[in-house]
Structure 1
């Protein structure tokens, strides 16, 4: 049934490999738990590690199938939303106290944490989609109680990743940051790969259909899965987005695509990222301004920029594609625009 379906990057984050596996396997569970119908569009998600961040590429027909089915079930069965609320709360019982505290956990705890996280994702996904669907799909639905439950997961993804990442470094100190590239199976079995293998993964990988593929190009992945990645076209001369915190700043660009660049960030530079996460705070405090691909006026970058009183433009879509380290730019957050003053040679 699946022939050259179109996959689009919906977001990008610097997540460790076990976090990626839990997310992708969880959302790809078939059937998903909240329905007996099987997802006809698989692989549903193909992630790509590139430029020190993870691109989450979704099958667009798969997304439509999920959203249409959720809307249909919620309108036909008045108890459906309550079922999601109740199940999400149950799935959060073990993991939420851990990621809210941000504490380092033991190996037995980590094994359970990863399993509970993966088991919860089909339900988390269902809940999250209700707040991202077109208005016509949620018309006449009362989402107030579901919104309260959804707010409990605001920190779930980023904070869970931090817990996993820090716990792995504590368990495998010799591997240091490379421990974030271990698979769940390797963590569970204790059979660790050679450092050379982890370095290859660090250079880039694809994960989809429960397969980890390294040293592969996009065309090769398209051939393996019989898919196509959507290529977004953009005008490199125009860069604008949402006004998250007003102000004007000039400075050199420093792209913070993941944890690696946090320590390299210098005071007065312009922080450019797909989307900021709490772990980026040390760099954000040193930034003259913040520019992101994703997000609106209530995203993490926007909220922190207002607290720090620094100019911020979010939702530019292509900032990390256009701007390069060392470019000298002006961030005009009064008008939501970014312009080059001089490009790095």
Structure 2
């Protein structure tokens, strides 16, 4: 049976964090409910140029959200139980946050706590995400979601600890998995992973281009975003206007936080999406263009604060544009045009 996957986002989160997140929808949900997700793997990751494309299974997430909804439809008890357990776990994890840089044994302990936290986080997050969730449950979940910083905090602790334990891997912490912790691969192997590798938690980590992987694994159907005729023939991309304005400049593609310093004054920042780490580059940019997001995403909010033209949700900007391309960003119309 064909398994359909769609790319939901591109991030430079490490594979350890992606591993614990993926587990939430299979092993994690089974621990909470006793039910086993029949559609696996829920997520497949492709690392390209140090950034991770996250491909999500249609069937797996539909099943997960439907089972979660069944429980939320019975009242607040299920949500409250998991929320309380999550809050108590965060208190236990606080010591790791305060220490910041951990020993190998402490890092392993933190990762186990992250597996636990992620299964609870998934319940809380999708209770807020799913518009079908009963109002009283969803309102509580949305209030929690506005304040939670689990992944922002502990992604940094994991990364900093890895580079302290094994300084030679600095800059390549992204591609370390839990299986690597006792025997970190060579720098050569890590560099290969950084450029083209497919990761399916609990199944495989293979250095291979995505198109080759799909040729060899026909059971996986990856739905790629189609590039419009207008983009191909006229070099025009369309998205949503987040902040008005009209500017021209040269493209600088930033896929990772550690590339922020590469953007020069007056260039056009093009990225899958932005996070607070991108703010220094956003300050230097003449305009901001993203693949992802809507008018309430980080790029949209910050661009309005800065008064910089911004077009979000183009879906394919990082695919069709290259560093150095001269473009016109017409945020009045939500377009980006190659000149």
Per-residue deviation, residues 123-166 of structure 1 (Å, max 9, x unmatched): 21222223332x3x22554422222222232x333443233223
1:59 pairs with one of 57, 60, 75: 57
* Number of residue pairs aligned between Structure 1 and Structure 2: 333
More helix by share: 2
Provide the secondary structure at the position in 1 that maps to 2:30: coil
Across the aligned residues of Structure 1 and Structure 2, the Cα RMSD in angstroms comes to: 2.4
The answer as to 2:165 corresponding to 1:171 is yes
Residue of structure 1 equivalent to 2:180: 186
Cα distance change on mapping 1:289 and 1:105 into 2, 3 Å: farther
Residue of structure 2 equivalent to 1:208: 200
Residue of structure 2 equivalent to 1:23: 21
Cα distance change on mapping 1:158 and 1:269 into 2, 3 Å: farther
Which consecutive residues of structure 1, in runs of 5 or more, have no partner in the other structure? none
Residue of structure 2 equivalent to 1:229: 222
The answer as to 2:120 corresponding to 1:123 is yes
Cα distance change on mapping 1:87 and 1:138 into 2, 3 Å: same
Conserved 8 A contact 2:239-2:313: yes
Cα distance change on mapping 1:252 and 1:95 into 2, 3 Å: farther
Which consecutive residues of structure 2, in runs of 5 or more, have no partner in the other structure? none
Deviation at 1:225, TM superposition (A): 7.5
Cα distance change on mapping 1:105 and 1:308 into 2, 3 Å: farther
Deviation at 1:90, TM superposition (A): 2.6
Conserved 8 A contact 1:168-1:180: no
Cα distance change on mapping 1:95 and 1:276 into 2, 3 Å: farther
Conserved 8 A contact 1:49-1:204: yes
Q: Distance in 2 between matches of 1:300 and 1:74?
A: 29
Per-residue deviation, residues 90-126 of structure 1 (Å, max 9, x unmatched): 3332446866x79444434322222212221122122
Please report the TM-score for the alignment, with normalisation by the length of structure 2. 0.88
Deviation at 1:307, TM superposition (A): 3.0
Deviation at 1:268, TM superposition (A): 1.0
Q: Distance in 1 between matches of 2:333 and 2:188?
A: 47
Q: How does 1:1-345 map to 2 (within 5 A)?
A: 3-29=1-27, 31-95=29-93, 103-133=100-130, 135=131, 137-153=132-148, 155-187=149-181, 189=182, 191-222=183-214, 223-224=216-217, 226-235=219-228, 236=231, 237-340=235-338, 342=339
Cα distance change on mapping 1:86 and 1:43 into 2, 3 Å: same
Provide the secondary structure at the position in 1 that maps to 2:249: strand
Conserved 8 A contact 2:72-2:134: no
